[in-house]
């Protein structure tokens, strides 16, 4: 089974019908079973997603997003350990020339550790960091 890391932008689009990428995100999620793809998120992405959905679409939508992500069989939720957090901090510090969020840095480090090269999202930072956009 192929593994694809999900950026927060893809998740927010999936849960917010007013997002410009809503349809693209819905198409991606519908394709997962037939393409045999397992998606991966971290606890930092979970946090960022719930917070953004709350601010855009309200509490009920944020709760639905959280419940879906926490109970879904197609989503693998990885909790970051201290080693990944510290390595992510070093990555963040060393890339002053980029405008990577700290959450993105944790995603990059986790993806490298898990040997996941593919992501889905609407944020160019993953591509700039050397990862492949799932087509």
pLDDT greater at residue 131 or residue 73: 131
Domain count, the chain: 1
CATH, residue 94? 3.40.50.1010
Instruction: Note whether residue 43 is domain-resident.
Output: yes
Interval 91-122: pLDDT, tens? 999 999 988 999 999 999 999 999 999 999 99
> What is the span of the domain harbouring residue 49?
2-122
With beta carbons less than 8 A apart as the criterion, state whether 46 and 10 touch.
no
Classify residue 130: in a domain, yes or no: no
What pLDDT does 1 receive? 83
């Amino acid at each position: 089974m192929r593994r694809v890391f999900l950026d927060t932008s893809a998740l927010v689009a999936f849960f917010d019908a007013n997002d410009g990428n809503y349809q693209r995100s819905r198409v991606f999620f519908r394709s997962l079973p037939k393409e045999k793809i397992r998606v991966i998120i971290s606890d930092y992405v979970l946090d960022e997603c719930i917070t953004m959905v709350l601010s855009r679409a309200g509490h009920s939508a944020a709760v639905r997003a959280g419940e879906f992500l926490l109970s879904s069989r197609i989503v693998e939720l990885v909790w970051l350990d201290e080693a990944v957090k510290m390595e992510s901090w070093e990555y963040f510090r060393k890339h002053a020339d980029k405008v990577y969020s700290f959450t993105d840095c944790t995603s990059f480090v986790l993806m490298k550790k898990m040997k996941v090269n593919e992501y889905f999202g609407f944020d160019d930072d993953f591509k700039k960091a050397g990862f492949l956009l799932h087509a």
